[in-house]
Structure 1
Amino acid sequence: MRNLLFLIAAALGALLPSCTPADRVVENPLIETANTRTLDIVKVELSDTATVLHVNAYYRPKNWIVISSDSYLQIPARRFMLTGAEGITPDSLFWMPKSGRASFVLRFPPLPRGTKSFDFIESDCDDCFKLYGVDLTGKTEYPEFPEGLPRELRKAPKDGPVPDPIFAVGETRVNIHLLGFREGMYKDMTLYINSMLTGHERKDAPIDPETGVATFKFGQYGPSLIYGNPAGPGSMHLNFWTAPGETADIYVDLTEKGKSIVQRRGKERKASHDRKLYATGTYADLNMLYDMRAEKQIGFDFYTGKFADYRMTADEYAQMIVSKYKMLTDSVARSGMSEMMKELNLLSLKQEALCVMVTCSSLLEHNYRSVNNLWDRNAKIDYKFATLEPKHYAAVCGLFDINDPKLLMGEFEPDYRTAISYSAFDWADIIHAENGLVVDLRKAVPMAAKAANCELTEADLASLRSLKNPFYAEACEAIQARVRRELAALEGKVKIEETPDVAPDKLFDAIVAPCKGKVVLVDFWNTWCGPCQAAIKANEPLKTGELKSDDIVWIYLANETSPLVTYKTQIGKIAGKHYRLNEEQWKYLCEKFKVDGIPSYVLVDRDGNSKLRNDLRNHDKLKKTLKKMIE
């Protein structure tokens, strides 16, 4: 009997642990990475019956978010589907309060004991919320360096002068390594290459789902500042420089997203370092120091509408720029920036100073509109704004050497290039220069634009060869040779509609005439326009989905500022009729419809009535409007 009682007691003792919930709470878990900052998992309750997530949401007040009923937690090879929620109804609009912050609870089945981390996936759609590597072990700090980072890059970058620009031509290869990448996180990577001759070029490459690497190859002509980001929601933005003809590896620590979520909490857990980018190549130290900079760029901040008083005289405006420049340079000198970042900031200030001089009238008008709340760009303004004269530009030229080649290395190189190349006057005359950067760019940049459209002549090349630096002729010749090769590869694959041979005032009617009786959406765009690209990408699925109809015609108007190869490459992915207009045609139609910027939309109804409809920049309104018109 005694033995029997002993056996029963032993059996009960073995059963009790499996019947008793193994409750455990993880407060403020570290999050490895995410595609959003809207959600934060601030507490995880673990038991044998459920996994409970306490979620904080941050979003614009009086706007909504949605949590899909298809949400799940993921560990290797297993999914645990959402079983319930408190404080939010799955698949329904959840309206954010005035504070822009809300909390709710999500319930899932129990995770296996010993689970060290999990991913929260709000369904498998591309733009759904995804938080990866939610830690359950109680870690309080992120690793010093991300997994997969080569050992030779685990050291501080060297400070010193900003490197010189390299005037050379070559094919550049850039490998973007996304450290901590998970399949399904992003599909593609986009780079925007800003070159001293070719301007703003977009390049896209797929991300290898196994390695998390995207590889780019492109012709490079002189130094280039590159902006990059993975294509997807909540993606991070990268800035780095490359030298022509080199292979550069850029390693991106994706835990930057997780750190930014964790550090927003009341009880912040500071990361052990502030770096997200590691680089090889000629400009490696510049790229890494730029990424690590703690202090905000000190600049003119001229987009606020308060930069200048529209009543200023030309003398007052020029003196204001001189005074601001001196004050800002003094602020840079007194800042805690590294030596290289101080010089970079000063170069950028110089670029901005030239930019605000050549855009004087636009900035004064911007202030006028801001003061009078007159944002209808089609409204006529009778006020006469000040116009600068050569003596005013000379005042700025007295502040620094505008012929310094290092000005190609500042953050606002496109503004500098545009100011020097396309001003109504010649900066070289102001500084009495017979050669140097301002002379070269004035001649070479327009020639490079001709080369990008395969229009460069032997006479043009001869003119470029007269410049002291042989780089410009070599570069423009290489640009045109590349364009010819790429155009040959595109032959027969895309169609540019023949622009009707009529006067500009008859052009629009001639373009839409064949579509009589149908609804026509005319999209004014260009390849270099980021918002245009985003709008087209959003609208494209509608043509085979909600708005699939023979009664809708999509017409796209661009001009010759879109480089021919880039234009042909892009329109091959855009369903519709494509017209490439010359400067006169584009200018007339923009004035006719009072186009205030691109993208702009002109809507033509079934009776042929046309009207500018820039309210259709709202994607949802565009859908609803076109649906209603074809019902």
Structure 2
Amino acid sequence: MKKLTLFACFILFIFNASAQRIINNPAFFANNARGLSISRVTISDTATLISFKTDYQSDTWFRMPSGLYLVNGDQKLKIRAVDSIQLGKSTLIKGGKIVFTCNFPPVSIHTKKIDIAEPDCQQQCFNIWDIELPEISVPEALAGDWFKTDGSKQWELGVYNSKLAYNSRLWNYTFLKRQRKNILIGLKDGNQRLTLTLETGDNSRLYIIEKKSTVALFNNAAAGKTKVADNKNAFTLANVYKTGMAEYVGYIKGYSPRMGFNTGQVFVNNAVTGGQENYLIKIADDGSFKASFPVNYTKQCYVHFPFSYAAICFEAGKKVFQKFDLTGSAVTANFMGDNAALNNDLYHTQFILLGIDWIKVRKDVLDFTPAQYKAYYINLRQERLDILNNYRLQNGMTTQAYNLARLSINYTLTQFLFKYNAEKWEAYRQANNIDPQNRRSQLPPVKLEKTYYSFFKDVAFNDPLAIVSVDYTFFCDNLKNNEEVSAAQRQYIFDYVARSKKSKIPEADAAFLDVMLADAKQDRIIQLKGDEQKMIRTNVLKGMIDAEMSFDLQLMDAQDTTSKIEASFVPLSPVQLAAMRTHFTNPYVFSLLKGYNTNIANKIEANKKQTGYAKREIPQLPADSIFSSIISKYKGKTIYVDFWATWCGPCLQAIKEIAPLKDELKDDKNIVFVYITNQTSPVGTYNGMIPNIKGEHYRVSADEWNQLTSQFQINGIPHYVLVKNGVVNNLKYQPFDYNTIKNRLLDTTGN
């Protein structure tokens, strides 16, 4: 018997829909119902039929609890019957697959969401929540992802029960109807409306009828090699060194707020500072998400959700659209629109580095000599590059993606090559079960010969386009502070102290030299003057690396400059900036430095307009009285105290996450947010940050901070304390949960 065409399936759908409402493959969130999915919900005036199917790999015993309820708002409708299995009894499912239907009393034809719950159950309960029942149900033959048939495998259309993805936007349905041979779908996204005209064809084909053209689509990505236009949209200096806002939007298919999270994060490396900023991704209840953030050049950024962590390429003025699917056994993802081919290739090749067994690697290198260690990592690097080349040969890749993937492999594994002593200690620590917090090596350092560093010949230096790679910033930071540089800095201190002690110096200066010497011997941070630090670093790196690297060295020097600007929160004057032009001869490094300086100046001006924060002075009291003195100002109020620092990434992320809650509660005069930091937060950076953090701010002394950390057992930050009705509740650190914190703040019982 021939398969029904897509058009015939649609005709049957229209006919059935007139008699009853059918929702195929509805989205839902399940708890303790693994291997079970809902294939169909049928709503009529006599019953609500829910068809399930199992998908186990082999013979499986399955039990559906008796007395299940369908929950529709305040309604609790008890199950009436089930076919193919018996409720409350275990059934052996041969082959692991079976289809059965549960019969519940009818619900309103306009019901949008239902739950199925096991009554009087406290743990290991059978619950299926948020079963979506959209009023416009998509025919099963239309549902899914559709890709271009030109060999590009470009994802063009996503048709789901409650949403449709097209043109890098997520649309809601307004209507779905047949017009002769075509299917018309009405769509809405905010104020934007669109009617999509589709024409069905044989062999799982679908055609999008646009103004003067027709785009043919397959309902799955065809196997085989992707056809790509070589060098199409390749990175150029002109399109990389652009500043502006990047946009990240998309859809998480299978998401439910019951999963316990509603945010993600974007981590944005900044090569001119050597640092990283993070930005919040807000996830709506329907699974849509969005974020926008500034980029000072085209770059890969790490994007983190509880189910995914991957590097995605963002460009100023461009939008990245990504769809995740959580409904299968593994999370899958597709990109649409700007840089879609690039990001799809990068996403599908991340396994190359993720597949390295680092526990095995450290076991292997435990007793290696430098020569053996070097050979091992060079082989590992080449092995990963071979996997990439083979993937490209079999699947095809854009030039951009291939080059970035090569850079990622080279930068990541080369870092291990020049960290011989540190990695030998990690291997030793792992083999001997030494606490990971113990980072000070107990092994004598091995001096590496200059010939050891010949592996650098395979690394790209002096390439302004390399900055696009997310791993370039990490590579430069590790190179800038590598073992050879640190050793040279220590030796510089030893020599300086020795020279100074030969001459007559004041007793106080001699004592200071002793402190410097002790710090150097203990590998503590050594504070050198900027020109000394730069001189040592430049000389060491030029001795290690036999290649032109003026771009890389100037970028490291720029990081020294931006670090000083950030600490003081005072931008360079036009005269100072012009003077630096003579040193920063690379135009791209200078443009990044100039852009950073302008950004600081703009922040200072914007901060002048900020309200809702207060910078408080610390009273002159004994350190052990400082906390009681601070909270006494807010007697009778609920006080949320956040111990934080300007350099603490998790602190800043948590501050961003709680900001919407603070806005919601801003009119409640009985709730106060207090922020306490210490002297490790540079005063300039502190003054620059707090205007954007609504609340009461205190910067305490080292002694006062020591007292507070002892009083509240602060072993790390962020750390939180809640004061209510005079009762102090030491919350310590807890992952942010909007509703939990809101309830704690509004709870009038003081619990």
Q: With the length of structure 2 as denominator, give the TM-score of the two structures.
A: 0.54
Does the 8 A contact of 1:314 with 1:388 survive in 2? no
Instruction: State yes or no: 1:194 paired with 2:194.
Output: no
Partner residue in 2 for 1:225: 300
**Greater mean deviation of Cα atoms: 33-42 or 142-151:** 33-42
Partner residue in 1 for 2:336: 278
Partner residue in 2 for 1:75: none
Amino acid aligned to 1:248: K
Flag structure 1 segments of 5+ consecutive residues without an equivalent. Answer: 1-21, 59-67, 73-78, 87-102, 266-273
Partner residue in 2 for 1:441: 555
Between the aligned partners of 2:409 and 2:554, the Cα distance in structure 1 is: 22
Instruction: State yes or no: 1:163 paired with 2:232.
Output: no
2:327 aligns with one of 261, 272, 291: 261
Structure with greater strand percent: 2
What's the CA shift for 1:591? 13
Instruction: State yes or no: 1:42 paired with 2:163.
Output: no
Map of 1:302-341 to 2, 5 A cutoff?
304=359, 307=362, 309-310=365-366, 312-335=368-391, 336-339=394-397, 340=399, 341=401
Between the aligned partners of 2:239 and 2:377, the Cα distance in structure 1 is: 31
Between the aligned partners of 1:216 and 1:551, the Cα distance in structure 2 is: 29
Between the aligned partners of 1:586 and 1:361, the Cα distance in structure 2 is: 35
Partner residue in 1 for 2:167: 149
Does the 8 A contact of 2:562 with 2:596 survive in 1? yes
Instruction: State yes or no: 1:83 paired with 2:62.
Output: no
What's the CA shift for 1:206? 7.2
SS across alignment from 2:327: helix
Does the 8 A contact of 1:227 with 1:237 survive in 2? yes
Aligned-pair Cα RMSD in Å = 6.2
Instruction: State yes or no: 1:110 paired with 2:106.
Output: yes
Partner residue in 1 for 2:345: 289
Partner residue in 2 for 1:398: 457
Q: Alpha-carbon deviations, 1:78-136, whole Å to 9, x = none?
A: x79553579xxxxxxxxxxxxxxxx99998753567x9x9655799xxxx857576968
What's the CA shift for 1:248? 1.2
Between the aligned partners of 1:300 and 1:532, the Cα distance in structure 2 is: 31
Partner residue in 2 for 1:240: 312
1:30 aligns with one of 25, 28, 31: 25
Between the aligned partners of 1:234 and 1:120, the Cα distance in structure 2 is: 26
What's the CA shift for 1:224? 1.9
Does the 8 A contact of 1:602 with 1:613 survive in 2? yes
Instruction: Considering Cα pairs closer than 8 Å and 6+ residues apart, tell me whether 1 or 2 has the greater RCO.
Output: 1
Amino acid aligned to 2:277: E
Between the aligned partners of 1:302 and 1:588, the Cα distance in structure 2 is: 44
Map of 1:391-540 to 2, 5 A cutoff?
391=450, 394-423=453-482, 425=485, 426=537, 427-433=541-547, 435-452=549-566, 454-457=569-572, 458-459=575-576, 462-491=579-608, 493=611, 495=613, 497=615, 512=627, 514-515=629-630, 523-526=643-646, 529-530=649-650, 533-534=653-654, 537=657
Instruction: State yes or no: 1:568 paired with 2:690.
Output: yes
Amino acid aligned to 2:407: L
Between the aligned partners of 1:385 and 1:365, the Cα distance in structure 2 is: 10
Does the 8 A contact of 1:527 with 1:562 survive in 2? no
What's the CA shift for 1:172? 1.9
Between Structure 1 and Structure 2, whose CA radius of gyration is higher? 2
Does the 8 A contact of 1:360 with 1:388 survive in 2? no
**Greater mean deviation of Cα atoms: 315-324 or 513-522:** 513-522
Distance 1:495 1:342, change over 3 A: same
Does the 8 A contact of 1:348 with 1:411 survive in 2? yes
SS across alignment from 1:277: strand
Between the aligned partners of 1:508 and 1:313, the Cα distance in structure 2 is: 52
SS across alignment from 2:300: strand
What's the CA shift for 1:23? 10
Partner residue in 1 for 2:431: 371
Amino acid aligned to 1:251: F
Distance 1:208 1:536, change over 3 A: closer
Does the 8 A contact of 1:560 with 1:580 survive in 2? no
Flag structure 2 segments of 5+ consecutive residues without an equivalent. Answer: 1-18, 56-67, 81-98, 118-128, 147-155, 158-164, 169-209, 218-225, 486-536
Distance 1:402 1:463, change over 3 A: same
Identity rate of aligned residues, in percent? 11
Distance 1:165 1:446, change over 3 A: farther
Distance 1:515 1:278, change over 3 A: same
SS across alignment from 1:163: coil
Q: Alpha-carbon deviations, 1:414-466, whole Å to 9, x = none?
A: 31232244446233332245653322222122323444553444546533542
Between the aligned partners of 2:131 and 2:657, the Cα distance in structure 1 is: 22
Between the two proteins, the alignment pairs up a number of residues equal to: 537
